Amino acid sequence: MVYRAARSDDSKQDYVELRFRNPAIFQQRLKGLSSSSDSGETVTTQVAPAGDTTQRNPDGSVKPGRTVTDQSDQRLSVSQ
C-alpha cells in the first residue's frame, strides 16, 4: 500500500511516496502518540534494512568498475 507522505508547495507533482509492508501497525502506533506537545514521544519504523548494496553479477562476483558497498538501516521517525 502506498501513502502520499509529503508534498512540496512548488508543484503538485512533487511528492514522496512511502510503501509500508504493514501500514496498519505504523498507523496504530501513530494514533497512540499523546496529543500533549511536551510529551516527546517518537514512533519509528524501518524503511530499508542494513545490508550489502553492491552491484553484482549473477555468479555473485562484483561487477567490473564497482566496489563493495553497504548501507545502514534507514528509519522514518515521527515525533509529536
More confident residue, 47 or 68: 68
What are the tens digits of pLDDT across the range 13-63?
666 677 777 788 888 888 888 765 566 788 888 877 788 889 999 999 999
pLDDT of residue 39: 65
Q: What is the pLDDT of residue 1?
A: 38
* Range 12-22 burial, b when 16+ CB lie within 10 A, else e: eeeeeeeeeee
**Rounded Cα gap, residues 48 and 38, in angstroms:** 30
Cα(52)–Cα(69) distance, rounded to whole angstroms?
6
**pLDDT above 50 (res 3):** no
Considering only CA atoms, which of 7, 5, 1, 6 is closest in space to residue 19?
1
